[in-house]
Structure 1
Amino acid sequence: MKLKDKVCIVTGAASGIGKAIADIYAGEGGKVVIADLNLEAAQKAADDIVASGGQAMAVAMDVTSEEQVNDGVAKVIAAWGTVDVLVSNAGIQIVNPVENYAYSDWKKMLAIHLDGAFLTSKAVLPHMYAAGSGSVIFMGSVHSKEASPLKSAYVTAKHGLLGLSRVIAKEGGKKGVRTNVICPGFVRTPLVDKQIPEQAKELGISEEEVISRVMLGGTVDSEFTTVDDIAQVALFFASFPTNALTGQSLVASHGWFME
């Protein structure tokens, strides 16, 4: 098993990509922490893992709250003694052209995606440093590399994760901690489903055109990236044995973006 007895915190893990990552980590022997704003849903996800023979616990966590992040990590330390892997995955989407983008929405987007990555990293790094090893994984996006209309805050936050990851890689390398950014293309989750009618309205096209042109038009096979695709990348980074890939990002987008 690639993650046997490794303590893995995954934020936003009650559903979608986060849940797929939590499930694959548990299947590889990890002790998985389902950290989510919705404690009831987090507990159900943890219970499902336990029922399948894995190890999991749930913690309530608003990643924009330093107090909740620190409290959640403290509960993990009390239960399992350390943190080996952090996947900062919690996120939302709000689309609007810049001139109509509410400042409150801008701040909310950056707080969840960027502040959340900072606060969770800050909370776990001392424990990783004490252990002399650890993996920090940020959920970026193709929009960490590329811009799209209507997504100013999202693109800004996802670009920012690359910088934060690289700094942690520089600071943590000699202490055994590595960091990476996963950059998915469009994954058919509720977050993406919500964007389809919103973008259709803003762009003046049909929902079918949003899917075929905006979301999948640049792929090589007109296929959505899947939650399992991303979970496999998250497993690869979490279980990689050396610092050789630290500070790097990996795009998984069915060829939409290539570098």
Structure 2
Amino acid sequence: MQNLTAKVALVTGGARGLGEAICHILADAGITTIIADVRLELAEKVAQILRDSGKEAMAVALDVSSAAQVETVIEKIVNRYGRIDVLVNNAGIDLTVSIEEMPVQEWERILNVNLTGPFIMSKAVFTPMREQGDGFIINITSTAAKRAWANASAYHASKWGLLGFSHALHVEGRPHNIKVTAVVAGGMRTPFLTERFPELDLSTLQDPKNVAQTVLYLLMQPADTVIPEIMVLPMKESSWP
């Protein structure tokens, strides 16, 4: 089992939903937690709650699709803490419309955040992780990477792509002791779903804390073990066989 004390983790999309739950779980485990989000004021609220409970936490404004912003944030973290041990690529967006209604610029925006963003983030942390001799990259994908439904073409494309990218990065990372895992998460009671689909039966969705606990479980694996992919489903999710 890994000792996580003194580790430094960056969680994208950390201000709400699953990202917020992951930040709390990691901080409770003694990990210094950086909450990154395009909504700095919300990220700062999470960071302040963690600091008020004696945890080490910092909020940063970050658009994961901006290589310049990513470079600045990673440099800031490494300069302040001397290392970065964990990256959780959690930030994600969607637009529920048919392909005929999907504007090209919205397709590009979704792919930029959900797929290009994790590439930019992973590229930025790969060098410091390689130089320090270890690291962990966790890509939060979705059952949308395993199946398909209507009016989500960009989201499916991004999540299928992220799953493939995660496995490719797993191969590249292993020689440098960098572990990479894709977390395939089923439906959760988060604003990502509940704000867009208020008619959903919440009893069929899982608590995001359950998925966050899975992230912590991955980090606690022995040093010589890596789990490239793990699926976490709500027991009552009827859309999955």
TM-score tier (shorter): over 0.9
2:113 maps to what in 1?
Answer: 112
Distance 1:122 1:110 in 2: 17
1:69 maps to what in 2?
Answer: 70
2:155 maps to what in 1?
Answer: 154
Deviation for aligned residue 1:251: 3.3
Aligned 8 A contact 2:4 2:31 in 1: yes
1:164 maps to what in 2?
Answer: 165
Is there any run of 5+ residues in structure 2 with no aligned partner, and where?
A: none
Deviation for aligned residue 1:245: 3.2
Tell which deviates more after alignment, 75-84 or 234-243. Answer: 234-243
1:48 maps to what in 2?
Answer: 49
Kindly provide the amino acid, as one letter, of the partner of residue 135 in structure 2.
Answer: G
1:239 maps to what in 2?
Answer: 220
1:186 maps to what in 2?
Answer: 187
SS of residue matched to 1:228: helix
Which is higher, the Rg of structure 1 or of structure 2? 1
SS of residue matched to 2:184: strand
Aligned mate of 1:249, from 227, 230, 234? 230
Deviation for aligned residue 1:49: 0.5
SS of residue matched to 1:120: helix
Between the two proteins, the alignment pairs up a number of residues equal to 238
Alignment of 1:1-259 (within 5 A): 2-196=3-197, 207=199, 211-212=200-201, 222-242=203-223, 244-254=225-235, 256=237, 257=240
Distance 1:100 1:162 in 2: 26
Q: In percent, how many aligned pairs have the same letter?
A: 36
Distance 1:70 1:246 in 2: 28
Deviation for aligned residue 1:60: 1.1
Aligned 8 A contact 2:205 2:236 in 1: no
Q: Name the Cα RMSD after superposition.
A: 1.7
Distance 2:132 2:188 in 1: 34
Superposition TM-score, scaled by structure 2 size: 0.93
Is there any run of 5+ residues in structure 1 with no aligned partner, and where?
A: 198-206, 217-221
